[in-house]
Amino acid sequence: MCIYDMKPGALQRDGQVNISSACGAAVGAYKALQKKKVVSEDPLTVLDTVRNEDLYADFDPQLQTILELLGPRLQGIEESSDSIAFVTYQMYGIIHKLMYEIMFQQTKDLFDNASEVAVVGGVMINRRIGGDFFQPLSFESFSRESKDAEVKKIDLFREAFGERPDLLPILGSEAALGRLYDE
């Protein structure tokens, strides 16, 4: 997520004249889903920075995957306080889920050479002034005692960072918050 003049999704980067969107793929997918009528049109001017010709690249597997995964997560976006922040947090949820699927379902030998794997997840907030900011959203440790044992998960977030950020005002509903953490 980028912030420019307190507008999530836009940033004028050093050395660039124009304002750009971030994450470009997420904003582009959101705009494409609006055009496909999956979600209502959003009048945010930050969306104007995404070129329409970039939205319908049928040959772009990254964009197609994002469209398929983001579409269902946009339910309730009209209840959010900011649509771009909503999209950003839902993209975090998508990436979080995909990463864990890869680690624990597709990588059968993950614990062959490691006894523990720790993962910190969150969103980068790019700011024009004051430097970028990492907002942690998860910190978990995973271990397995033997090849046949279940993976043990320990949530380390509170110990490392304190209370989780209250995203309910931004996301607008418990359902959207649940999708963020895949609950």
| 27: exposed, middle or buried (Cβ count in 10 Å: 0-12, 13-18, 19+) | buried
Q: What is the pLDDT of residues 21-55, one digit of tens each?
A: 566 677 777 777 777 766 666 655 444 544 555 44
Q: What is the pLDDT of residues 101-148, one digit of tens each?
A: 998 889 888 888 888 999 999 998 877 677 778 999 999 999 988 878
In sequence order, the 6+-apart residues with CB closer than 8 A to the CB of 54 are 28
Residue-range domain boundaries for the chain: 2-180
Q: What stretches of the chain adopt beta strand conformation (E)? A: 2-4, 7-8, 10-11, 20-21, 116-127, 133-143, 152-155
In the chain the first and final C-alpha atoms are separated, in Å, by 23
* pTM > 0.85: yes or no: no
Q: How many CB atoms lie within 10 A of CB 111?
A: 19
